[in-house]
């Protein structure tokens, strides 16, 4: 195997033709197309093998023998790094430095103090995939893990802002489930919560005085708790009750525990049907109606068990 070596350490041949070999200063060596069969070795001045490139094993092999990692640079700026551990950093100076080197891939974008890693199965920026995002600024931090559908709509997200962690589940782009870190609250914004096959529902509805609201219960029959202005500083204790209901073929509603100003009926209500000053709970096929005649607009909290 011919080696491109000169007559002194500061000179190398200008071409690989051993018959017409000429020399020039090594820093100005210009080479055209090079075909190598075997291994190309790059060594330092003391002859230590620092990097060799070969075409063995059916593909190109790049090996850095001093274990310092393989760097990809442009205009003196490191763009990517492959460490001897196998960890890869893109825009990150040392992927081994994060959490004991457990991250195989670290992607960093320092623009606007943001780091972001995204995986997608689409050429479009709004395609389905996974996004990890970390934002840091003065007095604020925000971390998010998101999953997106094919339209770029999130369907799951874990976020942290000001050290408070929230977890959201989306259906059709609308929030369907939330665990709120500020007060350890589990929120189902709409729909039902099912526990081992048992549907549990609830709602909050504001009803003007002498008006009616209709609520669809989670099942044809069960138990219902109701209170007027239960979240205010002055909940209406007399307008609260625990009821048994049936909105199936045999309409029925019975007060089990009541506050005195709750009436029940199996007839329809219009807003002024029940006793003035009271709340009337009426059952109709598939729905429960609440008539507010308390004397002012009020918000009812309703829970189905």
Written as tens digits, the pLDDT of the chain (305 aa) is 344 544 555 555 554 443 444 445 555 555 556 666 677 777 777 666 666 677 666 566 676 776 778 888 888 788 888 888 888 888 877 878 766 777 787 777 654 444 555 555 444 444 445 555 554 443 344 555 666 665 666 666 666 555 566 777 776 667 777 777 777 777 776 666 777 777 778 889 999 999 999 999 989 999 999 999 999 999 999 999 999 999 999 999 998 888 899 999 999 999 999 999 999 999 999 999 999 999 999 999 999 98
Q: Are residues 203 and 299 in the same domain?
A: yes
Domain that holds residue 30: 11-64
The torsion defined by the Cα of 17, 21, 22 and 25, in degrees rounded to 10, comes to 80
Structural domain total, the chain: 4
Q: Are residues 297 and 203 in the same domain?
A: yes
Number of Cβ within 10 Å of residue 69's Cβ equals: 18
Q: What is the pLDDT of residue 178?
A: 77
Distances (CA, A) of 70 to 6, 58, 78, 86, 92: 28, 21, 10, 10, 13
Q: State the Cα–Cα distance between residues 273 and 72, nearest whole angstrom.
A: 80
Q: What is the pLDDT of residue 230?
A: 93
Q: What is the pLDDT of residue 244?
A: 96
CB 244 within 8 A of CB 226: no
Q: State the Cα–Cα distance between residues 229 and 222, nearest whole angstrom.
A: 23
Any domain includes 36:
yes
Number of Cβ within 10 Å of residue 278's Cβ equals: 17
Q: What is the pLDDT of residue 149?
A: 61
Q: Are residues 99 and 160 in the same domain?
A: no
Q: Are residues 207 and 297 in the same domain?
A: yes
Any domain includes 159:
yes
Q: State the Cα–Cα distance between residues 254 and 209, nearest whole angstrom.
A: 24
Question: pTM surpassing 0.75?
Answer: no
CATH code of 292's domain: 2.60.40
Q: Are residues 34 and 48 in the same domain?
A: yes
E-strand ranges in 149-286 read 154-161, 164-171, 174-180, 185-187, 193-195, 198-207, 211-215, 221-228, 236-246, 252-258, 262-265, 279-284
CB 219 within 8 A of CB 292: no
Q: Are residues 233 and 290 in the same domain?
A: yes
Nearest to 289 by CA among 219, 217, 234: 217
Any domain includes 176:
yes
Nearest to 226 by CA among 302, 304, 305, 283: 302
Pairing verdict, β 105-107 and 88-90:
parallel
Q: What is the pLDDT of residue 11?
A: 55
Would you say how long the chain is, in residues? 305
Any domain includes 4:
no
Any domain includes 6:
no
Q: What does the DSSP 8-state code read for residue 96?
A: G
Any domain includes 1:
no
Q: What is the pLDDT of residue 195?
A: 74
Tokens of 36: 């190598």
Q: Are residues 120 and 182 in the same domain?
A: yes
Any domain includes 49:
yes
Pairing verdict, β 11-13 and 105-107:
unpaired
Q: What is the pLDDT of residue 90?
A: 85
Phi and psi angles of residue 57, each rounded to the nearest 5 degrees, phi first: 55, 30
273 contacts: CB under 8 Å, gap ≥ 6: 265, 267, 280, 282, 291
């Amino acid at each position: 195997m011919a080696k491109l070596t000169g007559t002194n350490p500061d000179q190398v041949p200008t071409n690989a033709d051993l018959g017409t070999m000429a020399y020039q200063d090594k820093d100005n060596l210009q080479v055209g197309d090079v075909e190598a069969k075997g291994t190309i070795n790059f060594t330092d001045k003391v002859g230590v093998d620092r990097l060799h490139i070969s075409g063995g094993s059916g593909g190109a092999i790049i090996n850095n023998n001093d274990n310092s990692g393989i760097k990809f640079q442009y205009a003196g700026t490191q763009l990517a790094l492959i460490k001897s551990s196998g960890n890869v950093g893109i825009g990150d100076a040392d992927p081994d430095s994060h959490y004991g080197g457990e991250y195989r891939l670290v992607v960093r974008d320092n623009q606007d103090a943001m780091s972001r890693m995204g995986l997608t199965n689409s050429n479009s920026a709004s395609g389905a995939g996974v996004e990890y995002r970390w934002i840091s600024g003065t007095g604020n931090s925000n971390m998010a893990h998101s999953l997106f559908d094919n339209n770029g709509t999130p369907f799951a997200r874990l976020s942290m802002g000001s050290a408070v962690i929230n977890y959201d589940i989306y259906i059709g782009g609308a929030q369907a489930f939330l665990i709120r870190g500020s007060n350890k609250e589990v929120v189902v914004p709409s729909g039902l919560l099912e526990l081992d096959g048992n549907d549990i529902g609830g709602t909050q509805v504001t009803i003007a005085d002498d008006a009616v609201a209709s609520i669809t219960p989670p099942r044809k029959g069960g138990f219902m708790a109701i209170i007027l202005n239960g979240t205010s500083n002055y909940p209406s204790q007399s307008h609260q009750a625990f009821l048994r209901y049936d909105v199936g073929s045999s309409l029925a509603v019975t007060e089990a525990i009541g506050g005195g100003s709750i009436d029940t009926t199996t007839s329809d209500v219009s807003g002024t049907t029940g006793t003035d000053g009271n709340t009337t709970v009426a059952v109709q096929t598939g729905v429960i109606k609440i008539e507010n005649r308390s004397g002012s607009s009020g918000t009812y909290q309703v829970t189905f068990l």
